[in-house]
Structure 1
Amino acid sequence: MAPLKAILLATLQLASASVVAADGLNARAQAAGKKYFGTEISTQVMGDANANNIAKNSQDFGQYTCENEMKFDATEPSRGSFNYANADKIVAQAQANGQLMRCHALVWHSQVPSWVSNGKFDNATLISIMKNHIANVVGHYKGKCYAWDVVNEALNEDGTYRALNLIKMVKSYGAPIHGFGMQGHMTAGQVGSASQYVSNMQAFANLGVEVAFTELDIATPSSSPNFAQQATDYATIVSACKQVSACVGITTWGFTDKYTWISNSAPLIWDTSLQKKAAYNAILNAWGSGTGTGTGATTTSKAPPAATTTAASGGGQGGCTAPQWAQCGGNGYSGCKTCAAPYTCKYSNDWYSQCL
């Protein structure tokens, strides 16, 4: 028995050491009291094994947003015909790694399918089309989304309304608005101070809504990049979010310059060779002390375990338990509702509760 006891002890010590060493952008964000640090992801990134290994690391990314795969033209390419294949792949990967989904986007002025934009429909028909689209997409992902970007980019860059009638309609029906997402497509050296972002976020927080940075990147020319300034600017945004309790997290619009929507720019945290840039450690430091070394290793860390069935759990759906960070409740949710010890099911909103 002695050798077996020694092996078990050594195994437990190794497991403990791996937990202590776990660290990364998301781990630091959660240690600072936030729900997540996340990234936009696409099936193109998933098709690149090396890039996808970074995306799957839940120590760095605790949340995904689809780049284009959930947008109107992708999910309903022809009227009444829905295609969820690509978006489903992203959702499945998030679920496998215990990552949240911020689902994106139901109503947007861009990437509308041509059958809508060229259809010459009257107002009543357009409203019917929109309702049918939303019902189908939200229904398909029922219970799988932590949040929905319902109306995307309702404001122009100068602050004027881009979707004024939609906002009036939502208000007239008395529909609740639970959160406000701040896009952050910025330029290095023009980000400014953290205080201005704190002030803006707090103004929305005072209305009783969550606040999040939903699309953050900080452009710098790839031909003559200023990565030091970029790192400072990323830290500024993180610092601002950290100071506002209602700021639940930050989503970068991608994570590697290899896959960015901005031409001739290097706006993200990993370079085109999938190496971490100065911004990575700047973000870590801005969140504050984590639980490990700050290396943010992308190949050795492990995601939270999948939900397991156990007769000894004493509750939950079918006697199963949900792991840390997994969903455990919400309208329409039918999965495990009891969290594995020592975690507790915490209410976030009517549609989402999480094991924390």
Structure 2
Amino acid sequence: MMRSKVKWTLIIILVLTMIIVGSNEKVSAGIADEKFLGNITAGYIPSDFGEYWDQVTPENSTKWGSVEASRGNMNWSDADASYNYALSNNFPFKFHTLVWGSQEPSWVSGLSPSEQRAEVTEWIQAAAQRYGDAEYIDVVNEPLHAPPSYKNAIGGDGATGWDWIIWSFEKARQAFPNAELHLNEYGIISDPNAAAEYVEIVNILNDRGLIDGVAIQAHHFNMNTVSVNTMNQVLDMLESTGVPIYVSELDMSGDDQTQLARYQEKFPVFWEHPAVQGVTLWGYLEGETWADNTHLKNSSGQERPALQWLKQYFDSSDGGNGNPGSGAYADFESGLDGWSGSNLDAGPWSTDAWSSKGDRSLQGDINMSSGDAHYLSRTGNFSFTGNELRATVRAASWGNFGSGLGVKLFVKHGNNYEWKASDWQTINAGDQIDLSLDLSGVNKSDIREYGVQFIDGNNSSGVTAVYVDNVYLWD
């Protein structure tokens, strides 16, 4: 009898231990890994949220004006729903936001400075008491564009020009000792001058040990037309502070193909930058995003092409853990990247006439004649560490292509310059195609040449242009 009791006691302890341990493990969810790819919640939790996303930011329900619209009466119901959902799925939760001028309670601006300071202190403490386990806190939102009406009550400009921000972060650090404290602002990714001013604030906070993350909003009005060069310039500026970067409010608009092209060009710039620790999109369901045509999923439940591409991007890159191989990379942003051409009518040169990533590509003009071969390539001695060579090519919209222009991605390797090429593809005027070459069986430590071969189709004639861009290896 005693042995039976001991046996059942041990079983119960084992089961409880499994439950406790399991509750601390992240639920497998979302389409990304390594870094988080999050989204917002607004009043309810979509049933498919966890299918795509693994981080939670309430859109409005943790803003002071939403919680305490009437002085002394705080409504946390929507915020609680988002927070509890994040906790139950072990998703990181971001409290957005403590100090912001745009959605502060309407009643706070009419108070005396001492009352304002007391109220904002009470607000920060109340938020911390309820959501003390939040991973991230947007302490101050949009300091360059929307300072609060009570700015002077909490330090004003002061000696640093930003004393009110310092005060806010000091109060937040006291209230949320275990959370990462973020500064959040828009208009940064597309404007190096604004980024420089933002960096000044970040450095002031960083010198005092008050900031853990520099967050940049990336809304459509900044993202739709920003160049990849500008994005990289700004990200590098922010990286120089030594503070991790978070993309906090990402959306891009357009019809299906325009939005897709924008995500393909610009999302990898964020995700693949080493200083970016996570990306949060600002809505994904049609009719529930704050701006038209920024949604990623139609009301019918159909995924738009940009969302389909995002899933493919993470799947093909091993859930975001894959890394570009070394030994081959060219984007032609600053020149030829060591590439040359043969059997060309003119070129090659770096051009802004077209690009698949960034602002420029490699262009060569060819004079077409049935069966002729033309090459854009790089020669030398290279060691590849990736398992697949990739590139994007395009044909100009002019010229007589006849039966079409054949294209192959190729490598030559070893002392005998052994040839291996991708499958034959055919393009016509204005066509663009992604090429990939499996490097199995290739002596990757002794690459002698790699590039793109173009072969003129039957009945082709006249001069046209061909382009190559974004040549890289993938593990």
Compute the TM-score of the two structures, normalised by the length of structure 2: 0.47
Aligned-pair CA distance for 1:141: 0.2
Q: Does 1:84 align with 2:72?
A: no
Q: Does 1:236 align with 2:265?
A: yes
In 2, Cα distance between equivalents of 1:23 and 1:274: 22
Name the CA shift for 1:134/1:236 in 2 (closer, same or farther; >3 Å): farther
CA deviation profile, 1:333-353 (whole Å, cap 9, x unmatched): xxxxxxxxxxxxxxxxxxxxx
The one-letter code sitting in structure 2 at the alignment partner of 1:250 is V
In 1, Cα distance between equivalents of 2:82 and 2:267: 26
1:83-122 matches, cutoff 5 A:
83-117=75-109, 120-122=110-112
Q: Does 1:129 align with 2:119?
A: yes
Checking the alignment, whether the CA contact within 8 Å between 1:40 and 1:254 is kept in structure 2 is yes
Residue-pair matches, total: 244
In 1, Cα distance between equivalents of 2:78 and 2:231: 35
The one-letter code sitting in structure 1 at the alignment partner of 2:243 is V
1:167-206 matches, cutoff 5 A:
167-171=162-166, 174=208, 176-187=210-221, 190-206=224-240
Checking the alignment, whether the CA contact within 8 Å between 1:193 and 1:236 is kept in structure 2 is no
Aligned-pair CA distance for 1:186: 0.9
Aligned-pair CA distance for 1:162: 4.2
Q: Corresponding residue for 1:141?
A: 131
Q: Does 1:155 align with 2:153?
A: no
Identity %: 24
Aligned-pair CA distance for 1:175: 5.7
Aligned-pair CA distance for 1:146: 1.4
* Structure ID, larger Rg: 2
Aligned-pair CA distance for 1:106: 0.7
In 1, Cα distance between equivalents of 2:307 and 2:213: 27
The one-letter code sitting in structure 2 at the alignment partner of 1:152 is N
1:202-281 matches, cutoff 5 A:
202-220=236-254, 226-262=255-291, 265-281=292-308
Checking the alignment, whether the CA contact within 8 Å between 1:105 and 1:150 is kept in structure 2 is yes
Checking the alignment, whether the CA contact within 8 Å between 1:231 and 1:283 is kept in structure 2 is no
In 2, Cα distance between equivalents of 1:123 and 1:154: 19
The one-letter code sitting in structure 2 at the alignment partner of 1:123 is P
The one-letter code sitting in structure 2 at the alignment partner of 1:170 is I
Aligned-pair CA distance for 1:267: 0.7
Checking the alignment, whether the CA contact within 8 Å between 2:39 and 2:281 is kept in structure 1 is yes
Name the CA shift for 1:270/1:95 in 2 (closer, same or farther; >3 Å): same
The alignment partner of 2:47 has SS state of helix
Q: Corresponding residue for 2:40?
A: 40
In 2, Cα distance between equivalents of 1:85 and 1:210: 31
Checking the alignment, whether the CA contact within 8 Å between 1:188 and 1:233 is kept in structure 2 is no
Aligned-pair CA distance for 1:112: 1.7
Name the CA shift for 1:189/1:65 in 2 (closer, same or farther; >3 Å): closer
Aligned-pair CA distance for 1:179: 1.1
Checking the alignment, whether the CA contact within 8 Å between 2:140 and 2:165 is kept in structure 1 is no
The alignment partner of 1:137 has SS state of helix
1:65-80 matches, cutoff 5 A:
65-80=57-72
Q: Please identify which structure carries the higher strand content.
A: 2
Compute the TM-score of the two structures, normalised by the length of structure 1: 0.62
Q: Corresponding residue for 1:323?
A: none
Checking the alignment, whether the CA contact within 8 Å between 2:31 and 2:311 is kept in structure 1 is no
The one-letter code sitting in structure 1 at the alignment partner of 2:287 is K
Q: Does 1:284 align with 2:311?
A: yes
The alignment partner of 1:56 has SS state of helix
CA RMSD of aligned residues (A): 2.7
Aligned-pair CA distance for 1:108: 1.1
